[in-house]
Amino acid sequence: MKYTVITGASSGIGYESALAFASREKNLIIVARRQEKLEELKSDIKKMNPNLDVIIRATDLSIKENVYKLYESLKEFKIETWINNAGFGDYDLVADQNLEKIEKMLQLNVEALTLLSSLFVRDYSHVDGSQLINVSSVGGYTVVSNAITYSATKFYVSTFTEGLAHELNEQNAKMKAKVLAPAATETEFAKRARDIEEFEYKTAMPKYHTAKEMAGFMLDLYDSDKVVGIVNGLTFDFELKDPMFNYYSANNR
């Protein structure tokens, strides 16, 4: 049996992506902080297909020790696809940032993603059909005002994943590394980024996608031979692209 791992699966893009991969008859390992939300997701998946195996791992990946414990706990499973979706944002001027929140954001968006990606590549780069998909943002390709630090974390995700895709290609590895870059999406993201109780996308945002639409784009990227799946910030069309950052290969010396 092979499994698809999705972090940040308790809501939004992660939740809908789990349902999308379940529709492809993929067994799932779903990861997030909220046990009750993961149980709800498991129930929804079982209603779709009671034959699928769904493994729950409730953990806070902003704590480094939990990152290693999570990966070690999955050693017994054969993993086909790993999706690093867990992350959150912050809307503040740099001088006004809550540094405790920023510290957790850096640990989750950058450190946890890097460690989990590295561990997965180490064990599965030689496995045919394996994929690593890291969720970035259009804010990982264009700096967003009042979200400078968040954008910086997502620039890291984008460059790290694009660079890894080049590296794997140069090594003739069987694994593919890809980056998904959503724009405004109707999830819990805005509430946490703004530290507010409610956020109404229909009145606040001229354009946005639903989490279900983004999960569909995730599958499009999964099926594609392209490295980047990005939402056009102007048209809001979803576009599949080759790596977008310049890459200098040591092999060209």
Give the chain's residues under pLDDT 70: 252-253
Query: Cα–Cα distance between 51 and 17 in angstroms, integer?
Result: 18
Domain count of the chain? Answer: 1
Task: Tell me if 170 is assigned to some domain.
Answer: yes
pLDDT for the residue 251 = 75
Task: Tell me if 203 is assigned to some domain.
Answer: yes
Task: Tell me if 249 is assigned to some domain.
Answer: no
pLDDT for the residue 176 = 98
Task: Tell me if 91 is assigned to some domain.
Answer: yes
Query: Cα–Cα distance between 88 and 17 in angstroms, integer?
Result: 17
- Angle, helix 113-124 to helix 148-170, in steps of 10 degrees: 10
Tokens of 25: 């008859």
Question: How crowded is residue 185: how many other Cβ atoms within 10 Å of its Cβ?
Answer: 23
Range of the domain at 38: 2-243
pLDDT for the residue 197 = 86
pLDDT for the residue 123 = 98
Task: Tell me if 82 is assigned to some domain.
Answer: yes
CATH of the domain at 21: 3.40.50.720
Task: Tell me if 253 is assigned to some domain.
Answer: no
Strands 228-231 and 238-241: antiparallel
Query: Cα–Cα distance between 81 and 77 in angstroms, integer?
Result: 12
Task: Tell me if 248 is assigned to some domain.
Answer: no
pLDDT for the residue 60 = 98
Supply φ then ψ for residue 114, to 5 degrees: -65, -45
pLDDT for the residue 250 = 79
Task: Tell me if 182 is assigned to some domain.
Answer: yes
* DSSP state letter for 191: H
